[in-house]
Every structure is written in structure tokens, then in C-alpha cells.
Amino acid sequence: MWNRFALIFLCLGLVAGSAVAQTEAPATAATAEVKAAKGVENREPVEEGTTFAAGTTVWCWSLLRNSEGAAKHVWKKDGKPVWTANHKIRSKRWTTYSRRKLSKPGSYSVDVLGADDAVLGSVSFTIE
């Protein structure tokens, strides 16, 4: 009797484990955490925000994972590219940033692109 229960629990564990394994993202997928802020200190964003006053220097900070080689910050105003910053990525976990003084009100975003130009992450904010 005990062996039947042990066998049932073992089978249930294997089925549950295989279902979890199928839904997890690959460990090698490149990703970026992206934030807009008023500054960067000690490789961390300072005074993060989604709205900034006209004339503010906005910093785009990104933490890239599994994206060795190169990356780009593509700054956009109202969906149209206005500036690109190129970055060298030297390890599997790398922080980088770019900054722009933005005087014109509008909707802005920054896309972080990997070496293959795939979008790894983005952030949106408004200049008032």
C-alpha cells in the first residue's frame, strides 16, 4: 500500500515539475530594466519619475542582463527617434546610462536595443 502512494506522489511531482520547466523563460534571454531619473549615483538611478519639467536633464538608466557586446539607447519624442547613444556591454550584468537635456514638452520614450537591435526594455515619460 505504501509503495502505491509513493509511486503516485513521485508521478505527480514529475508531472508538476515538467509543467513548471516548460513555462520558465530561458536563462540566457537578454533583458533590460530601464528607468528615467534626474540623475545616476553609484550606478543607481536618483529621483526616478514619469514627468519632468522642461529644461530638465533626464537620465535613462538601464540594467542589462545576458546582453554582451553592444546596446543602444534610442531616445524618441512622440514616437520618432531623436537621438541614439551607443554602449559597449562588457559582462552578462551591466549598468549603463545616457542623458539628454529636454526643453520641448511632449511624450518621450527610450528603447534599449541589444546587439541584434531587438528591444530589450523601454521607459516612457513626459516633459511638461
pLDDT one-digit tens code per residue, 46-96: 999 999 999 999 999 999 999 889 999 999 999 999 999 999 999 999 999
Question: Residue 37's closest CA among 52, 18, 55?
Answer: 52
Per-residue confidence band for 21, with pLDDT thresholds at 50, 70 and 90: very low
pLDDT, residue 123, reads 98
- Topology of domain 31-127 in CATH is Coagulation Factor XIII; Chain A, domain 1 (2.70.50)
- Tell me: the pLDDT tens digits for 38-52? 999 999 999 999 999
Mean pLDDT for the chain overall:
86
pLDDT, residue 4, reads 59
Residue 73 vs residue 26, higher pLDDT: 73
**Structural domain spans, the chain:** 31-127
Q: Is the pTM of this model over 0.75?
A: yes
Provide the CB-side half-sphere exposure for 45 (13 A, CA).
22
The contacts of residue 60 (CB under 8 Å, 6+ apart) are 34, 35, 36, 73, 75, 97, 98, 99, 110, 123
